[in-house]
Amino acid sequence: MSSVHLWLRHETRSTERRAPLVPHDAARLVADGVRVTVEESPQRVFDVEAYRAGGCHVTPAGSWVDAPDDAHVLGIKELPDEPAALRHTHIFFGHAYKGQDGAGSLLARFAAGGGELLDLEYLTVDGRRVIAFGYWAGYVGAALGVLAARGALAPLHPMERAELDALVRAAGADGMSALVVGAQGRSGRGALDALLAANTVLDGWDREDTRVLDREALLDHELLVNCVLSTTPQPAFVRPEDLTAPRALRVVADVTCDVTSEHNLVPVNTAITSWEEPARRVGDDPPLDVIAVDNLPSLLPREASVAFSADLVPLVPTLAGRRGPWREALRAFVAAQAHRAGGPRAVAPGPS
Ligand SMILES: NC(=O)c1ccc[n+]([C@@H]2O[C@H](COP(=O)([O-])OP(=O)(O)OC[C@H]3O[C@@H](n4cnc5c(N)ncnc54)[C@H](O)[C@@H]3O)[C@@H](O)[C@H]2O)c1
């Protein structure tokens, strides 16, 4: 592994406290001969001294712009607007292959500098993502759902799991009827764990269970946690006409957050909610609240980082050769650049 140089950058977004590589794993990589450089970062949930103690080289925030050419610059969220030309390999969530806002200009910056984007979202094996923040998204989403159902949901801030668990315990969810849909996925498993710990009366449905949708049974739960990765049209779980129908359902924790998608399975909701106002009332008689926070893992930055980093580390040995999932990420980048330049799309983009 000795030829790889990972450069963990400071995150531009001030609310982003997560790190894709945690100190413990960075130390393991260093012990394996990987060069790891870590930028100082005031908001990162891990102290830079913990990286230094593990043998990482520490450097000022934002110094990646002057990093040696062989540095693989690692981050989570968006890059700063400068420099205009990107000459390094960057590993982060670029959100640049589906025509998102700013996608064209980001790809143009890579073209200008000859750099390369290995998008974390496109690290796949057999079309399935191998690294994602889903588990803790589901865990937090379900916990917030419990709090909302018990009238105990306050404005949100990043916290440790123990604090969130204590809030849920204090709210008291014993016997609450809860349903997780998409239960076998990453976020679904996190949601199930949170709801089991909260002593709810729990159901978990996945693809097989919604093939013929029993909406009456679905609406008979007080809390619905939607964790479905929806890629094809299918009957919605909660439709506008269900707002006035007899139902036990009081809260939808919409982890999926497909609020503007044609595949939105909770079309009673069409907008995300915020940390300041995490729940929105969409029905009154009886009440129905929806939670659609689109950056749930950032609320548990430590736990989310530890899980993500554990998935990233085993991929590092194949990075230098761009093998395995890295090859898929590179193919997606090359295809997107070709498409941007007016050519045919050579490879279909990976999953969202
Ligand atoms: N809100 C957030 O902060 C946040 C964070 C991470 C992920 N997400 C989103 O959560 C969603 C799920 O992510 P994931 O990583 O858990 O995906 P995943 O692929 O691991 O799991 C999705 C699950 O949905 C199931 N599914 C698909 N269609 C279904 C259907 N019709 N009925 C029942 N189950 C069905 C699949 O079988 C799978 O088990 C994605 O849309 C993702 O973008 C949101």
Q: pLDDT value at position 198?
A: 96
Closest listed residue to residue 192, CA positions, set 172, 178, 173, 177? 178
233, 236, 241, 244: CA torsion to nearest 10:
-170
5-130+301-340 and 134-299: identical CATH topology? yes
Tell me whether residue 5 is one of the annotated catalytic residues: no
- What does the alpha-carbon distance between residue 149 and residue 179 come to, in Å, rounded to a whole number? 13
Distance (angstroms) between ligand 1 centre and the Cα of 117 equals 25
Query: Which residue among the candidates 77, 98, 263, 339 is catalytic per the annotation?
Result: 77
Distance (angstroms) between ligand 1 centre and the Cα of 88 equals 32
pLDDT at 15 over 90: no
What is the DSSP secondary structure assignment for residue 73, as one 8-state letter? E
Shortest-distance atom of ligand 1 to CA 187: 16
pLDDT at 222 over 70: yes
Protein residue with least CA distance to atom 2, ligand 1: 294
Q: Between the CA of residue 188 and those of 227, 289, 308, what are the distances in Å?
A: 5, 20, 16
Ligand 1 and 117: CB distance under 6 A: no
What pLDDT digit, counting tens, does each position of 246-266 carry? 999 999 999 999 888 888 999
What pLDDT digit, counting tens, does each position of 297-329 carry? 999 999 999 999 999 999 999 999 999 999 999
pLDDT at 352 over 80: no
**Average pLDDT of the chain to the nearest whole number:** 94
- Ordered DSSP codes for 270-322: -S-B-SSS-EEEEEETTEEEEE-BTTGGGGSHHHHHHHHHHHHGGGGGGTTTT
Distance (angstroms) between ligand 1 centre and the Cα of 236 equals 15
Ligand 1 and 134: CB distance under 6 A: yes
pLDDT at 108 over 80: yes
Please compute the mean of the pLDDT values over residues 31-37 and round it to a whole number: 97
What pLDDT digit, counting tens, does each position of 148-197 carry? 999 999 999 999 999 999 999 999 999 999 999 999 999 999 999 999 99
Domain locations in the chain? Answer: 5-130+301-340, 134-299
- What does the alpha-carbon distance between residue 185 and residue 135 come to, in Å, rounded to a whole number? 8
Distance (angstroms) between ligand 1 centre and the Cα of 120 equals 17
Ligand 1 and 229: CB distance under 6 A: yes
Q: Between the CA of residue 81 and those of 13, 87, 112, 215, what are the distances in Å?
A: 12, 14, 14, 47
Tell me whether residue 77 is one of the annotated catalytic residues: yes
What pLDDT digit, counting tens, does each position of 18-30 carry? 999 999 999 999 9
What class has domain 134-299?
A: alpha beta
What are the structure tokens assigned to 128, written together? 């399935």
Ligand 1 and 190: CB distance under 6 A: no
Other CB atoms within a 10 A radius of the CB of residue 26 amount to 27
Q: pLDDT value at position 344?
A: 59
Ligand 1 and 264: CB distance under 6 A: no
- What does the alpha-carbon distance between residue 313 and residue 290 come to, in Å, rounded to a whole number? 36
Closest listed residue to residue 80, CA positions, set 70, 71, 72, 90? 90
What is the DSSP secondary structure assignment for residue 102, as one 8-state letter? T
What are the structure tokens assigned to 241, written together? 């006409």
Distance (angstroms) between ligand 1 centre and the Cα of 182 equals 6
pLDDT at 2 over 90: no
Query: Which residue among the candidates 10, 24, 72, 95 is catalytic per the annotation?
Result: 95
pLDDT at 346 over 60: no
Other CB atoms within a 10 A radius of the CB of residue 128 amount to 10
- Please state which CATH number belongs to domain 5-130+301-340: 3.40.50.720
pLDDT at 351 over 90: no
Q: pLDDT value at position 347?
A: 46
Q: Is 201 exposed, middle or buried (0-12, 13-18, 19+ CB in 10 A)?
A: middle
pLDDT at 72 over 70: yes
What are the structure tokens assigned to 185, written together? 């996925």
Cβ atoms of 227 and 181 within 8 Å: the answer is yes
